[in-house]
Amino acid sequence: AQKVTQAQTEISVVEKEDVTLDCVYETRDTTYYLFWYKQPPSGELVFLIRRNSFDEQNEISGRYSWNFQKSTSSFNFTITASQVVDSAVYFCASMDTGRRALTFGSGTRLQVQP
Amino acid sequence: DVKVTQSSRYLVKRTGEKVFLECVQDMDHENMFWYRQDPGLGLRLIYFSYDVKMKEKGDIPEGYSVSREKKERFSLILESASTNQTSMYLCASSPHTGLANQETQYFGPGTRLLVL
């Protein structure tokens, strides 16, 4: 069984601060896939990124960056120069390659104050 | 763009009622999923389906059933609603490519169900 842990329940920052959301995963699979989703107040989950277990390259997309480290089973997400529009709940998830279903962490609520 | 729609954003039902939550996707995806979201628990898988007429139990199927008569539509059924089924229900779909790294799930807006 897979498990995803997001230890930070809620984070509050002031606009323009950098913020890192932590994600730790557990899996027995040698090949696995990790995801980040954003859930704004409207409720719909928005896909942000997918990372394959065999690709440990970090990724940057604008103000967003992801740090994948197999040695610590972590897949952390950093927002640089946060903005009020970044306020949302962020979910980390892993894919069960058998069922093709996602196992989610409990989510981190990010509040960016102006 | 992938479009996943859910029939209702908000729903209020009485204990014991039979409840239908509908999900429709327009991208010809084979895989469809139902999750429920509760505070502090994230999203948990209820049922999923890889094809028409096919269904598989997820991690918390008790009290639920599903129906997939057409490829684009996946219905979640609460046979006799109970107060502990008050929750946010999210539907998702993904293509079946045979390669897990290409099967990103896309979510609908969710249905917030209140059972009184």
pLDDT exceeds cutoff 70 at B101? no
Residue from the list B31, B35, B44 with its beta carbon closest to the beta carbon of A100: B31
CA distance A64 to A79: 5
Average pLDDT over residues B91-99: 86
Dihedrals phi, psi of A106, to nearest 5 degrees: -80, -5
pLDDT higher than 90, residue B96: no
Would you call B33 and A97 a contact, using CB atoms and an 8 Å cutoff? no
Cross-chain CB nearest to B33 (options A35, A37, A101): A101
Is residue B104 very low, low, confident or very high in pLDDT (cuts 50, 70, 90)?
confident
Q: Which of A33, A47, A101 sits opposite B106 (nearest CB)?
A: A47
| pLDDT for the residue B56 | 94
pLDDT for the residue numbered A39: 96
- Least confident range of A98-102, A108-112, B31-35: A98-102
User: Each residue of B3-35: pLDDT tens digit?
Assistant: 999 989 999 999 999 999 999 999 999 999 999
Report how far residue B90's alpha carbon sits from residue B9's, in angstroms, rounded to the nearest whole number. Answer: 10
Q: How far apart are CA A90 and CA B106, in angstroms?
A: 15
- Chain A residues with beta carbon closer than 8 angstroms to that of B110: 43-44
Tokens 């209020």: give the residue: B12
Predicted pLDDT at B1: 67
In this model, does residue A107 exceed pLDDT 70? yes
B70, B53 contact by CB (below 8 A): no
pLDDT (tens digit, 9 = 90+) per residue, A42-98?
A: 888 999 998 888 887 788 889 999 999 999 999 999 999 999 999 999 999 998 777
Residue B43 pairs with which residues in a beta bridge? B37
Q: Hey, is A72 helix, strand or coil? A: helix
Distance (Å) from the alpha carbon of B71 to chain A's nearest alpha carbon: 17
Confidence band of A13 (pLDDT split at 50, 70, 90): very high
Q: Is some CB atom of chain B closer than 8 A to the CB atom of A51? A: no
The number of C-beta contacts closer than 8 angstroms across A and B is: 65
Asked if B94 lies within 8 A of A37 by C-beta distance, the reply is no
Query: What is the per-residue pLDDT across A36-58, written as a single tens digit (0 to 9) for each?
Result: 999 998 888 999 998 888 887 78
Chain A hits for B99, CB-CB cut-off 8 Å, are none
Q: What is the pLDDT of residue A100?
A: 81
Token pair of B60, please?
A: 């918390």
Which residues on neighbouring strands pair with residue A96, listed in sequence order?
Answer: A101
Whether A37 sits inside 8 A of B101 (CB atoms) is: no
Q: What is the mean pLDDT of residues A5-13?
A: 97
pLDDT digits (tens, 9 = 90+) for B28-78: 999 999 999 999 899 999 999 999 989 999 999 999 999 999 999 999 999
Of B41, B42, B58, the CB nearest to A101: B58
Residues of chain B whose beta carbon is less than 8 angstroms from a beta carbon of chain A are: 9, 31, 33, 35, 40-45, 48, 50, 56, 58, 88, 90, 92, 94, 96, 100-101, 103-110, 112
